[in-house]
Structure 1
Amino acid sequence: MNQGHPPPGLRVLITTNEPWGTYHVQPLLDEAARRGWELIQVVPDVSRIKPGDPVPTATPRTAPPADLLVVAGAGDWPVEVAGRFPRLPLAASGLAYLGPREAADAGRLRPRLRAITAASQGAALAFAGHLGTRRTITVVGSPRTDDLPKRVPEPGLVLVLTSVTHPDSTGEAAPGTDLLLAAAEELRTAGKRIMVGLHPREDPALWARHEISQVSSQTAAARAEAAIGIPGTVFPLIAAVGTPLVGCTDPALRVPDYLLTVCSSTIDDAALAVSAVDNARLPASETLREGIGPVGGSAGRLFDVWSKAARGDVVELA
């Protein structure tokens, strides 16, 4: 690994709470290419990496020398990887939503962290809880809002945003699929056109009776009058497009407040879906800013923080 001042073209290892979930790293590849950086996601093995995945991957044994290790959470896998690279500078960046409860082994990461970033003030509050820290977290925005599609809503089109029905070795699941399926049926019966934006790990067979979007949920949202789904990482991204959201909140669901505040409303009964969608509106601009974060230039801000951390700086500025 590099010592002292690293060269401009950094090599950054990244590891997430979803050990094989490369979809959180993929939005960073354009900025990496622009800067001449190399991003490599560290995975337990390559058995679950699909052929042609654009995100370079390596195991802890095959990872090349690097300038920085970024953990996107304090789950079992990121903590294990950090332990495998004890001499690498370490940063933590919230690339996906995490609940505010402190992770069991977060204390093993905290002393090494040179920088912590999150997309928004709301995400920063939740990420601080996850890491068990009171340090300042640098709010950089989400790179997925750097190039927003132009919104041209089509009458009667509703985007349904799924989560993951069953947990597996790749990551956890969020409850609420039955509620969302029933809500989609209520909307279809009321004459709405349903398009489904699948979570990357969702079982598409559950949604086979509906049209499944062939583009990203954020791109699909530009066509929808409203979106309804299980609150997750994509919710602030959809709100950034300008599409109002309705959250389906199963009683067992626990998500950070900022994912709920970007919603027009939340429902726990499918019979309320049609009315909620018909009346969906974006929240106040201040509420949106807290949930979405700064829009435009987010990848650049994130990489600037990583560059400082790789140089040996401790980043504390908000």
Structure 2
Amino acid sequence: MSRRAVLGGALAATAGVALGGTAAASPGGKRLRVLVATNEPWGTYHVSPLLAEARRRGWRLTQLVPDLSQIKPGDPVPTATPETAAAADLLVVAGAGDWPVECADRFRRLPLAASGLAYLGPQEAALARRLHPRLRVITAASPAAARAFAGYLGTRRSVRVVGSPQTDDLPRRVPEPGLVLVLTSVTHADDTGGAAPGTELLLAAAERLEAAGRRILVGLHPREDPALWDRYEISEVPSLEASARAEAAIGIPGTVFPLIAAVGTPLVGCVDPELTVPDYLLAVCSSTIDDAALAVSAVDKARLPGPETLADAIGPIGGSAGRLFDRWSKAARG
């Protein structure tokens, strides 16, 4: 399926779904100061796709972190602790884990928004209801993500579908014969965030694919241990960009899966009995496997799902960062 077909389906599926505002800010619009807190306290990779829109609007976007101990030198995302953060107009929580809720408690006078910047399961988070009284807007990338995010927050309120900023500039797909992109998760949990089971299955699947003559390109999760994958070529560009080169991708289902489907690259999911992900991440997969012996056949047969499934999982394409920031602007203004 072409990217144009994916785009058309994604836009069509938003009919009747609450969408955000226009993509462009007015010239006289206020330059907002926004603080963001995520479930992965030091993981800035979910905020980095928002920096271009922040620069375009002249906004100051800062991620709140417990301390600077795990922020790498040169990280483009501005960070601050609650103690050092400058005055702000809005706090955005990207989840209801311990850290975002602690930040919400610390900044009680700020307007509060909740935005799903990464996938979250539909099970209600233990602390989610502490956020309810203050939430001015809730946003998510797609209709499916909105349903999962509402369940996670334990709310029946409308969730505004804005799209994913990472789909605003999708790479053009030019698949290379025999190239398979392997998408890792995180093998070991750390203070920055949790891990997803399934690495052993994925490693074994990669070995099977290589033995069958496939070229393996590895798209590492930002927190994955690269030493586990150093026998293969590791992509020097983000997985979304690398997916444009691949005939198919195989990996542990995560936030990037719908984005790669938007590029037009079919996906195979590696699932572990202990792995729990929202159904829509599995729905964008051509198939899922729980045995490495199935990897070669699954990759050979990989196809994109139908346009309705894609649209539900991907959301609107183009102008997504603008829609998100418009929603934040309205929340800050009250």
Q: TM-score range by the shorter chain?
A: over 0.9
Question: Is 2:265 aligned against 1:265?
Answer: no
SS in 1 for 2:272: coil
2:25 is matched with: none
Q: Distance in 1 between matches of 2:130 and 2:86?
A: 23
TM-score, structure 1 length as denominator? 0.96
2:189 is matched with: 167
Selected match of 1:223 from 241, 245, 266: 245
Matches for 1:53-92 after TM superposition, within 5 Å: 53-92=75-114
SS in 1 for 2:103: helix
Selected match of 1:93 from 109, 115, 119: 115
- The one-letter amino acid paired with 1:163 is S
1:3 is matched with: none
Matches for 1:174-253 after TM superposition, within 5 Å: 174-253=196-275
- The one-letter amino acid paired with 1:218 is L
SS in 1 for 2:34: strand
* Superposition deviation, residue 24 in structure 1: 0.4
Q: Distance in 2 between matches of 1:17 and 1:76?
A: 7
Q: Distance in 2 between matches of 1:75 and 1:237?
A: 24
Q: CA RMSD in A?
A: 0.8
Question: Is 2:37 aligned against 1:15?
Answer: yes
* Superposition deviation, residue 7 in structure 1: 6.3
Question: Is 2:132 aligned against 1:110?
Answer: yes
Question: Is 2:58 aligned against 1:36?
Answer: yes
Over 4 Å off, 4+ runs: none
SS in 1 for 2:147: helix
Determine what percentage of the aligned residue pairs are the same residue: 80
- The one-letter amino acid paired with 2:116 is G
String of CA shifts for 1:64-115, please: whole Å, max 9, x gaps.
Answer: 1100000000000000000000000000000000111111111110110000
* Superposition deviation, residue 129 in structure 1: 1.1
Q: Distance in 1 between matches of 2:250 and 2:144?
A: 21
Q: Distance in 2 between matches of 1:252 and 1:121?
A: 26
String of CA shifts for 1:9-55, please: whole Å, max 9, x gaps.
Answer: 00000000000000000000000000010100000000100000000
- The one-letter amino acid paired with 2:63 is Q
SS in 2 for 1:102: coil
Residue-pair matches, total: 307
Q: Pick 1 or 2: higher relative contact order, CA cutoff 8 A, min separation 6.
A: 2
Q: Distance in 1 between matches of 2:47 and 2:311?
A: 23
- The one-letter amino acid paired with 1:234 is V
Name stretches of at least 5 consecutive residues in structure 2 with no aligned partner. 1-27
SS in 1 for 2:67: coil
2:21 is matched with: none
Name stretches of at least 5 consecutive residues in structure 1 with no aligned partner. 1-5, 313-318
